[in-house]
Amino acid sequence: MNSGILLVDKPHGITSHDVVARTRRLAGTRKVGHAGTLDPMATGLLVLGVESATRLLTYLVGLDKEYLATIRLGWNTTTDDAEGEALAAAPAERLSAASEDAIRERMIPLTGVIEQVPSAVSAIKVDGKRAYQRVRDGESVQLAARTVTVSAFELLAMREADGAVDLDVRVACSSGTYVRALARDLGAALGTGGHLTALRRTRIGAFHVDEAATLDELDVAAAIMRPADAARRALPVVRLTAQHAVDLGHGKRVEASDAEGADAEAGAVLAAVDPDDRLIAIVERRGGTLKVVTGFPSEGAGA
């Protein structure tokens, strides 16, 4: 099996690990990983790495992301989503006061660079243990706020449903942003409570869900994206001479001035490809040289 990147549209009700396990069977290899987990209730884009292309996932995890989601106003839950236990419902007058104008107004402070407290049932580690596991074990978890960027928080539609108000929204955000927390915080700002009832990831960086295959239709050999093609969507590309490709492949530094596209600032991380457009390494500009950060074997190799 060649190494490369797969785009998969995760269905509702299974874990990201389930998708990885299924892909391992289809690809005939244990070496499959993913760039960014989706909860079982969520659907949409998972970016998977196969064989040595799993090394590329490190550079894809931190890309910005885009989601379509449904937020239900009317009450909070213990998990900030529909999987949790429902808490006290908001008074009817609070819900009726949540007009479209009021909702849009309360979304503005949740847009831009914000300080966000992650959901207590997140995968963030607290003293070496996942926060969600501490919650399941009956512990009280208070996570510190972290700086995230929400570049878009748009109201697409709203409707009444089951004594609540459902909002369809689009969120574009930095890696590490919790859409569940946006639902919680919007509900708090409106005084209605709020939680997430649906979530679909539509984009990771320049990778889009409309390019992805469903698990049922996934043909690994046909769908796999070459490492070089995937890398150039996430990183600037530097083109090597044949000799420099050999040298970098052996872990040697090469002169940046001899490589096309290497006129980047110091510390820049670049995808280095050979004359045959094969990904040789992820490199860092160190002064006048390119230093290997992550090397890649021949694309046909399973290393």
In degrees, rounded to 5, the angle at the alpha carbon of residue 249 between the alpha carbons of residues 281 and 276 is 70
Residue that is written with structure tokens 């009817």 in the block: 92
Known catalytic membership, residue 39? yes
Whole-number Cα distances in Å, 87 to 37, 64, 279: 27, 32, 51
- Positive or negative: CA dihedral 88, 91, 94, 98: positive
Q: Is 44 helix (H, G, I), strand (E, B) or coil?
A: strand
Q: Is 77 helix (H, G, I), strand (E, B) or coil?
A: strand
CA 94 to chain CA mean position, Å = 34
Of these residues, 39, 80, 81, 185, which one is catalytic? 39
Rounded Cα–Cα distance for residues 297 and 3 (Å): 9
Residues labelled as active-site residues: 39
